[in-house]
């Protein structure tokens, strides 16, 4: 059983919702990332989503764009990101790590080479925002050969036909983008999200995570009532931005927010 399956089945036994924080690798610099990953696990994270920086993050709002820019100031590469995961795995063999990013840095590495290196480093899954299933046949096959799960996005605009198709090629979990918009958007409509999750569940037994509009403990709590996982990104990353010159403050601030969200979704 994969780390992701393991994590969800343990949580299900206790009827708990998974908490998945997102941070960008190398933001604000490489030395912060691994300690922050451990701190987030201590604060209640079940899976970690690690952003692979890209120069043109089209699906991201300003908060995560700027995180990418900070990481790229010192040239954080795919290889650097994998090295951070390897380092994280020295102390944590259980918490799944999902890489999230855009296709081009992976494409230039080569799918085979990337899959091998990612598997060796201890990566569990990859989510490429700009790679829909239509273009992902080779990618999915090569990742699966190395037991790396491929997570795809579903959106409010996804038709039933697409939901079916995407669920069929997904593994690990399915990621529902809760708003029409970029990361960090506001105005989450819980009723609409719940209705869509019900439709998605007709087509898959995989856990369904919800992200893109969850900015605090209150929205996380509402979402946790229907989702198998809540994904929190921009809210955490803006704490990193606010304390970019003070690593200790980043660790404590991010942990504090995450712990508050954990508490809210467990209540």
Q: Which stretch binds other proteins (CB under 8 A): 52-60, 87-95, 217-225, 231-239?
A: 52-60
Q: Which C-beta is closer to other proteins: that of 57 or that of 207?
A: 57
Q: Under the criterion CB under 8 A, does residue 153 sit at the interface with other proteins?
A: yes
Three-state SS sequence of the chain: CCHHHHHHHHHHHCCCCEEEEEEECCCCCHHHHHHHHHHHHHCCCCCEEEECCCCCCCCCCHHHHHHHHHHHHCCCCHHHHHHHHHHHHHHCCCCCEEEEECHHHHHHHCHHHHHHHHHHHCCCEEEECCCCHHHCHHHHHHHHHCCCEECCEECCCCCHHHHHHHHHHCCCCEEEECCCCCCCCCCCCHHHHHHHHHHHHCCCCCCEEEECCCCCHHHHHHHHCCCCEEEECHHHHHHHHHCCCCHHHHHHHHHHHHHHHHHHHHC
Under a CB-based contact definition with an 8 Å cutoff, are residues 174 and 152 in contact?
Answer: yes
56 as an active site residue: the answer is: no
Q: Under the criterion CB under 8 A, does residue 131 sit at the interface with other proteins?
A: yes
Q: Under the criterion CB under 8 A, does residue 135 sit at the interface with other proteins?
A: yes
Contact positions with other proteins (CB under 8 A) in 184-243: 185
Q: Under the criterion CB under 8 A, does residue 18 sit at the interface with other proteins?
A: no
In the complex, what is the shortest distance from the CB of residue 11 to other proteins, in angstroms, rounded to a whole number? Answer: 25
Catalytic residue among 27, 49, 149, 228: 49
The length of the chain in residues reads 267
Q: Under the criterion CB under 8 A, does residue 156 sit at the interface with other proteins?
A: yes
Q: Under the criterion CB under 8 A, does residue 85 sit at the interface with other proteins?
A: no
216 as an active site residue: the answer is: no
Among 130, 164, 253, 266, indicate the residue that binds other proteins (CB under 8 A). 130
Q: Which stretch binds other proteins (CB under 8 A): 8-16, 152-160, 195-203, 248-256?
A: 152-160
Among 86, 87, 162, 203, indicate the residue that binds other proteins (CB under 8 A). 162
**CA atoms of 192 and 188, how far apart (whole Å):** 9
Among 77, 116, 226, 252, indicate the residue that binds other proteins (CB under 8 A). 77
For other proteins (CB under 8 A), the number of binding residues is 45
The Cβ-side half-sphere exposure at 73, using a 13 Å CA radius, reads: 12
Catalytic residue among 29, 42, 60, 83: 60
In the complex, what is the shortest distance from the CB of residue 8 to other proteins, in angstroms, rounded to a whole number? Answer: 22
User: Which residues are identified as catalytic?
Assistant: 49, 60
**Where does this chain bind other proteins (CB under 8 A)?**
53-62, 65, 69, 72, 75, 77-78, 102-109, 129-132, 134-135, 152-159, 162, 166, 177, 180-182, 185
């Amino acid at each position: 059983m994969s780390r992701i399956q393991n994590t969800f089945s343990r949580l299900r036994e206790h009827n708990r919702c998974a908490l998945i924080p997102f941070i960008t690798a190398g933001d604000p610099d490489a030395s912060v990332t691994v300690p922050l990953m451990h701190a987030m696990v201590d604060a209640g994270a079940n899976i970690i989503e690690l952003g692979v920086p890209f120069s043109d993050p089209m699906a991201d709002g300003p908060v995560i764009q700027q995180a990418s820019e900070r990481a790229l100031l010192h040239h954080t590469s795919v290889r650097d990101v994998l090295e951070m995961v390897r380092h994280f795995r020295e102390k944590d063999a259980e918490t799944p790590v999902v890489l999230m990013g855009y296709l081009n840095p992976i494409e230039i590495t080569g799918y085979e080479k990337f899959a091998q290196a990612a598997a060796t480093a201890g990566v569990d899954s990859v989510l490429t925002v700009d790679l829909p299933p239509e273009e992902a046949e080779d990618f999915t096959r090569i990742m699966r050969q190395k037991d790396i799960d491929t997570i795809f996005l579903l959106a409010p605009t996804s038709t039933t036909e697409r939901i079916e198709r995407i669920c069929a090629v997904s593994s690990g979990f399915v990621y529902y983008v809760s708003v029409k918009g970029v990361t960090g958007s506001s105005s989450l409509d819980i009723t609409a999200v719940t209705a869509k999750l019900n439709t998605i569940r007709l087509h898959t037994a995989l856990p369904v995570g919800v992200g893109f509009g969850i900015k605090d403990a209150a929205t996380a709590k509402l979402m946790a009532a229907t989702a198998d996982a809540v994904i929190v990104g921009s809210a955490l990353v803006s704490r990193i931005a606010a304390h970019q010159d003070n690593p200790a403050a980043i660790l404590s601030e991010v942990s504090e927010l995450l712990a508050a969200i954990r508490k809210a979704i467990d209540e």
